[in-house]
Amino acid sequence: MLKRGDVARLARVVAETRETEIGCDECFEKLDGFAEVELSGLEARSMMPLVGDHIGKCSDCRSTFEALLTALRRT
Ligand SMILES: [Zn+2]
């Protein structure tokens, strides 16, 4: 769940990355790596901010990411 502080931080990130957004295709390509970073306990969003940013805004990619996380956790 997003906390109040997270929303503010997210809004700032969105504002800062507006000119360097990635699309669904590029996000999808990097989603594997992003999920692995996330599962390794590192800050995936700070290491791959564009992917994190896209997932924050795109519900399609977010649900793909969540499915990926679930699948990776199971292995
Ligand atoms: Zn997307």
Q: Is the pLDDT of residue 75 over 80?
A: no
Burial 39-67 (b: 16+ CB within 10 A, else e): eeeeebbeebebbbbbbbebeebeebbee
pLDDT at residue number 9? 78
List the structure tokens of 21. 């957004």
Chain centroid, CA 74 distance in Å: 20
User: Whole-structure pTM over 0.75, yes or no?
Assistant: no
Q: What is the mean pLDDT of residues 66-70?
A: 95
Owning domain of residue 35: 4-74
Span from the CA of 66 to the centroid of ligand 1 (angstroms): 13
Please give the tally of structural domains in the chain: 1
Span from the CA of 53 to the centroid of ligand 1 (angstroms): 10
pLDDT at residue number 14? 62
Summarize pLDDT for 3-61 with one digit per residue, the tens: 778 877 777 766 665 557 899 999 999 999 999 999 999 999 999 999 999 999 999 99
Span from the CA of 22 to the centroid of ligand 1 (angstroms): 8
Sign of CA pseudo-dihedral 59, 29, 21, 73: positive
Span from the CA of 20 to the centroid of ligand 1 (angstroms): 14
